Amino acid sequence: MQYTDPDIESSYHTGTIGKTLYEQVLKLKPQKIVEIGTLHGYTTVIMAMALDELGEGHINAYDLFEEYPYKHPTFEGTTKNIERYGLSKYVTLAKKDLDSWLANPEDFDMLYFDISNTGDTVDAVYASVKDRIKKGAIVLFEGGSKERDQVEWISKYNKRPIGEAKAPYTVIDSSFPSLSMLG
């Protein structure tokens, strides 16, 4: 399926990180993608569009759904959004917390994490998957730019900016909120 900006609630419509994510999947041709922090399915649908274009691959997409105490998706709503694009065969949606996934990470060719990331999130993911990165797996995440670190909630809730993470990363799309590659 060719890229179109999905008609799914997300704060990423104004930038280009969706298109960049789509292009990364086309380029890297991952058989197995893991996404953590799917919300209403905007980035999930984008990666599934690219898998459909490639004709193969699968996404295991996780979120806390109704258990997330702040603004959260519903499992049913996200499922319906993916169905609406005819992409359900590329996606398995499940409720899972990042920390429990990191404690026992499954195999993946590409990981995309997007849970309102902070410097702590980036360091925790890197510590858990750096060996996979060395073996060629790709890890992308939301954030990483200076502008993204200035969002109000980082200072308001005393969170560590991503720029202070010890883990190495490169910003691959600086349009707000930005997209980065770990390692």
- Candidate list 21, 49, 63, 91; residue touching ligand SAM; CB under 6 A: 63
CA 39 to chain centre: 10
What is the C-alpha separation between 144 and 90, in angstroms, rounded? 28
Nearer to ligand SAM, 97 or 109 (CB): 97
- Candidate list 48, 59, 93, 115; residue touching ligand SAM; CB under 6 A: 115
Alpha helices in the chain (DSSP H): 17-28, 42-54, 75-84, 98-103, 119-134, 146-149, 152-156
What is the C-alpha separation between 126 and 153, in angstroms, rounded? 23
Q: For residue 173, state whether it binds ligand SAM (rule: CB under 6 A).
A: no
Q: Mask: binding to ligand SAM, 121-160, rule CB under 6 A, as x and -?
A: ----------------------------------------
- Candidate list 43, 60, 81, 118; residue touching ligand SAM; CB under 6 A: 43
Nearer to ligand SAM, 9 or 56 (CB): 9
Six-digit token pair at 46? 């984008």
Q: Are 60 and 33 in contact (CB under 8 A)?
A: yes
Six-digit token pair at 50? 């690219």
Q: For residue 73, state whether it binds ligand SAM (rule: CB under 6 A).
A: yes
Q: For residue 36, state whether it binds ligand SAM (rule: CB under 6 A).
A: yes
- Candidate list 13, 29, 72, 146; residue touching ligand SAM; CB under 6 A: 72
Nearer to ligand SAM, 62 or 135 (CB): 62
Angle at 136 between CA 133 and CA 141, to 5 degrees: 50
Q: For residue 38, state whether it binds ligand SAM (rule: CB under 6 A).
A: yes
- How many C-alpha atoms does 63 have within 13 Å on its Cβ side? 29
Nearer to ligand SAM, 136 or 158 (CB): 158
